[in-house]
Copies of this chain bind each other. A is one copy, B any other.
Amino acid sequence: MDTKGHRQHTGRRRNEAARQAILDAALDLLADADGAPVSVETIARAAGVGKQTLYRWWPSKGAVLLEALTDRAAQEVPAPDTGTLRGDLRALAVATFEAAQYPPTAPALRTLVREAARDPHLAELMRKFTESRRAAVHEILERGRQRGELPADRDPELLVDQFYGLFWYRFLLGHAPLDADTAIRFADSLLG
């Protein structure tokens, strides 16, 4: 016990290899499942690790899955600045749709959202995870508004929701493509 409120670390240290193995196994299984549930048992077994090692470092299964996605697969979304509102929105839509088309990100993200539907803890983590993406759209719209490219009566919040509403709808249902051509037509559709 020291005066700074934390004490010296004693005993065995955290095994970094186990952490890596867990995240690797989680992402593999997540990507392979493509929507189907992934159990903790399966992750631990695939990582050659005890379940307790998992729960010692993560608060829930969802936290492990989300970290596996963010650490290994979820590339940063660019914040395009092409000089025009239409250009920015097109670029962001293309990048967003593109990232959601290929493994391991796409199937892992699909599984994660499905899990979040039943796991309030994961749902909250996902909400935070997606918040930065929403903020990126907001910034694009705000820059456009300042340039006079966005009519004052357009509600930015509604536009952001339209953007991600369509994205998630098509991503989760998978009934229609999310290719670059669609992205550009979609961005243009949003701006009218």
Contacts and interface: CB of A to CB of B under 8 A. Distances in A.
Interface residues of A, number: 27
Interface stretch (A20-28, A58-66, A84-92, A154-162): A154-162
Nearest to A189: B158
Interface string A148-168: 000000110111011011111
Given A114-B117, A117-B117, A118-B118, A157 B169 contact: no
A164 B169 CA distance: 8
A103 interface: no
Interface string A6-37: 00000000000000000000000000000001
Interface in A170-192: 170, 173, 176, 182, 185-186, 189, 192
Given A167-B165, A168-B165, A192-B192, A155 B117 contact: no
A113 interface: yes
Contacts of A165: 162, 165-170
B166 A162 contact: yes
A131 to B, nearest CB: 10
Contacts of A162: 162, 165-166, 186, 189
Interface of A: 37, 113-114, 117-118, 127, 154-155, 157-159, 161-162, 164-170, 173, 176, 182, 185-186, 189, 192
30 contacts: A113-B117, A114-B118, A117-B117, A117-B118, A118-B118, A154-B189, A155-B189, A158-B166, A158-B176, A158-B185, A158-B186, A159-B189, A161-B166, A161-B169, A161-B170, A161-B176, A162-B162, A162-B166, A162-B186, A162-B189, A164-B169, A165-B165, A165-B168, A165-B170, A166-B166, A168-B168, A168-B169, A169-B169, A189-B192, A192-B192
